[in-house]
Structure 1
Amino acid sequence: MARSDTEIESSAGTPDTVERLEQAAETHDRAQERVEEVGADALRDCRGIYSELWNLLESYDGRATGGGDFEAFMEFQGRVGTLTDDLPEDLPERDTFEEVDDFLQQRRLTEGDFEQAREMLSPVGDLVGRLDELDDARERYKKARTEANRRRDELSDRIDDLERLQRLGDADLDAPVEHLRDPIERYNDAVTEAFTEFRRNTPAREALAVIERAEAYPLVEFRSPPAELLTYVREHDAGTEPIPKLLEYADYSASKLDHYVDDAAALRSAVATRRTYLRRLDAEPVRIDWPPPSADALPWFCREYRSVVARFADESVVAGLREVRGLAERDDYERLRESAVARSELTESERERLASGAVEQELSTAREARAAIDDALETYSPL
């Protein structure tokens, strides 16, 4: 059987990720061993002298040669001699530094001599380059671990998705979900009608005050009224008009508006610029989603919704919300909910993959890939 695109996606890159981490760890270990063969402190001392001597060669080349500046020539030889005097006995490549010093202490230097001195220093450059190799290897190793961790997170997300898909596939698609849907639909219809009447007939200052107080309930996702709009409806007589009337006023010309409100400019500034906000105010933030929340979450939603709904709806709507809250106490709530979620979210393609066993295979592949990365991350610990 051919592997699906999602199975390929689950495992793609995993062998490379582990291999790159292994190779980076081996490269780092070799570089570390090469440094330890000489000693990191000794190499750093050697690199310091090498750099200074190399810089002297670069700085005086052309000035301390041939018929150049005799004073520069003498200064150059003096600085080289000072640098190489009393070199530590155990300094790596000590003999090379002394040979370069002896070579440069001639009565006359040419550009070729400078070039030869650089060539004589090349073994030192190779030796101290081990420190740079170690630094590079360390960075590559850290990068490889970062990439492995990122890939592991991707696989974990994929595993979560596949496990959820499996749970949906196990749901009873013939379960009587109407036992949940009917009470929720009755409540949603009732609260929508109640809010429509509330918005249509309640003074804007009172309606917006209810929406503002809803901020105290995080699960009620009403967007808080703009401050300028709240100030306007509280301080002007037009605030006693319902929201549809304010929107109607906002469409009037300035001359016509003067006949209806005490401050046409204030209304246009506070209301006309917030038409979209006012038009979009509806009961959606206090409707119960379908499929509904989990049995643990549903009572919390209902509790917060009730605190807001009771401010604009009558007792029959609140009673409908209590009935919805009681659904969470049903022994079969989660079974019915899973069926509702499966019916709502499973695509035909996903159902086919579940039936064929492709999802199970993808999940196994993803778990194996994550386990391989886990093993590699445990084996090759952070530096």
Structure 2
Amino acid sequence: MPDAQAAPDGLVADLRRARQSREDAAEAVADVRESRLKALRAALDELDRLFDQYEESATGTGDFQSYLAFQEDVVDYVEELDEDLPEYDVFESLLELFKKKRLSEADFAEARERLADARDLVGRLDHLADARDRYAKARKAVAERADEHATEVERLERLERLGAADLDAPVEELRDPIETYDEAVREAFRELRAEAPARNVLDFVATAASYSLVDFEPVPEDLAAFVADREAGAEPLSQLLEYADYSPSKLDHYVAQPRELKRVVGGNRTYLDRLSAEPLTVGWPPAPADELRYRLDELVSVVARIADEDVVAALHAVRARVRDDDYERLRTAAVAEHELTPAEKEEIAAGVEDDLEAAREAERELREALETY
């Protein structure tokens, strides 16, 4: 995380300079017109190709046919140029430069020197591309640092909130009913898995999963169809999982469709092994009241399908506790007690207010820079 006290001035200045550089580079290109500069670059590239092709063979006492071919190609090349091309007169001057009975390396050096200004003009395109790249990187750096500060703000706000918790609050008044219910519903589900037909267990899970706040994974379609239609579906889940480990020849003595059972149950073993009562529990520390109230309303309807009155009564006791006025005070104390590390407790004791304000200000400055530049 960034230092909460570190000012973002450097990144903002980098972004400001990068935008100014991009604007200057764009203005320099616009002064000549981008299309004309691109045409000039293409012309220079073609001329460089001619130089590379002929310079060695057409100079000194080289190949006379190469010399003639070079002169022809240069004339054709210049005649095809648009007169609106920047530095056109320089290109045209090359006709006189190369109109000699014999060419030397110095002639080609002279030609390149005459074209220096043209190459400088074309360089504006590269400068603009580089300026745009630097600007994009500067924006990315500012955005990433702003996000880092936003994360730091969230962390410090959490510490500030938990630091205000009443650590002497009687959290056992909240923990006891929740632990009583959670253990009771776990036991009820363990009994369901161990004793009820597999089709009944998975029918319950499918029904529970239809409630948006009861977080069971949907039953795999092939598994649901198998336990619904086959005799083996009357066996408990534990028995089906044991069958899935049998060889087909041994399993043939126990079920009517041994290979299908191994394929479907064995293929869904991970799902079945993970199937537990956790989606029916409240957990510790509990969720905020506004969130938990709605979930508990759904759990009352779901849990009553598999548990006895004592379990449902324990769930009602939790629901009543969540509706009490002091629930959030006790919950905040529970979260603080459960989640705060020793280092975080020391940070809270030292005070987080200044760091929080600095992180907020840094994020605010960076976001404003992104809008401004």
SS, match of residue 171 in structure 1: coil
Deviations 1:120-155 (A, max 9, x none): 211210122112101210121122112211211111
Matched, 1:260 2:260: no
Aligned positions, number: 370
Deviations 1:214-252 (A, max 9, x none): 332232222333333333322322211112232343445
CA separation of 1:43 and 1:228: change in aligned 2, threshold 3 A: closer
Matched, 1:240 2:234: yes
Q: Distance in 1 between matches of 2:370 and 2:163?
A: 33
CA separation of 1:321 and 1:48: change in aligned 2, threshold 3 A: same
Alignment correspondent of 2:65: 69
Once structures 1 and 2 are overlaid, which stretch shifts more, 124-133 or 105-114?
105-114
The alignment's TM-score, normalised by the length of structure 1, stands at 0.85
Alignment correspondent of 1:3: none
Matched, 1:120 2:117: no
Q: Distance in 1 between matches of 2:322 and 2:233?
A: 41
Matched, 1:192 2:182: no
Q: Distance in 2 between matches of 1:242 and 1:318?
A: 24
Letter in 1 for 2:73: F
Once structures 1 and 2 are overlaid, which stretch shifts more, 104-113 or 185-194?
104-113
SS, match of residue 28 in structure 2: helix
Does the Cα contact within 8 Å between 2:7 and 2:362 map onto a contact in 1? Answer: no
Q: Distance in 1 between matches of 2:8 and 2:219?
A: 50
Q: CA deviation at 1:276?
A: 4.2
Alignment correspondent of 1:370: 363
Q: Distance in 2 between matches of 1:157 and 1:62?
A: 64
Alignment correspondent of 2:14: 20
Q: Distance in 2 between matches of 1:126 and 1:242?
A: 83
Matched, 1:360 2:353: yes
- Identify which of 67, 71, 87 aligns with 1:93: 87
- Identify which of 351, 366, 379 aligns with 2:345: 351
Alignment correspondent of 1:102: 96
Does the Cα contact within 8 Å between 1:63 and 1:73 map onto a contact in 2? Answer: no
Matched, 1:337 2:331: yes
Letter in 1 for 2:355: E
Q: Distance in 2 between matches of 1:42 and 1:319?
A: 83
Identity %: 48
SS, match of residue 115 in structure 2: helix
- Identify which of 277, 281, 290 aligns with 1:283: 277
Within a 5 Å distance, the mapping from 1:31-50 to structure 2 comes to: 31-40=25-34, 42-50=36-44
Deviations 1:333-383 (A, max 9, x none): 2111111111111112111111112x3333233223223323422331xxx
Q: CA deviation at 1:323?
A: 3.1
CA separation of 1:93 and 1:217: change in aligned 2, threshold 3 A: same
Once structures 1 and 2 are overlaid, which stretch shifts more, 223-232 or 134-143?
223-232
Q: CA RMSD in A?
A: 2.7
Matched, 1:323 2:320: no
SS, match of residue 72 in structure 1: helix
Matched, 1:292 2:289: no
Q: CA deviation at 1:168?
A: 0.4
Once structures 1 and 2 are overlaid, which stretch shifts more, 164-173 or 143-152?
143-152
Structure 1: state its 5+ residue gaps: 1-5
Does the Cα contact within 8 Å between 2:50 and 2:70 map onto a contact in 1? Answer: no
Q: Distance in 1 between matches of 2:275 and 2:52?
A: 75
- Identify which of 148, 152, 164 aligns with 2:146: 152
Structure 2: state its 5+ residue gaps: none
- Identify which of 121, 131, 139 aligns with 2:125: 131
Q: Distance in 1 between matches of 2:218 and 2:33?
A: 66
CA separation of 1:44 and 1:276: change in aligned 2, threshold 3 A: closer
SS, match of residue 296 in structure 1: helix
Q: Distance in 2 between matches of 1:378 and 1:34?
A: 25
Q: Distance in 2 between matches of 1:285 and 1:212?
A: 13
Within a 5 Å distance, the mapping from 1:158-169 to structure 2 comes to: 158-169=152-163
Deviations 1:85-143 (A, max 9, x none): x723xx54344233323212333333442232122211210122112101210121122
Q: CA deviation at 1:286?
A: 0.7
CA separation of 1:46 and 1:245: change in aligned 2, threshold 3 A: closer
The alignment's TM-score, normalised by the length of structure 2, stands at 0.88
Q: CA deviation at 1:315?
A: 3.7
Once structures 1 and 2 are overlaid, which stretch shifts more, 124-133 or 213-222?
213-222
Q: Distance in 1 between matches of 2:35 and 2:250?
A: 88
CA separation of 1:280 and 1:46: change in aligned 2, threshold 3 A: closer
Letter in 1 for 2:107: D
Deviations 1:44-94 (A, max 9, x none): 45444434433333344345544242551342232144045x723xx5434
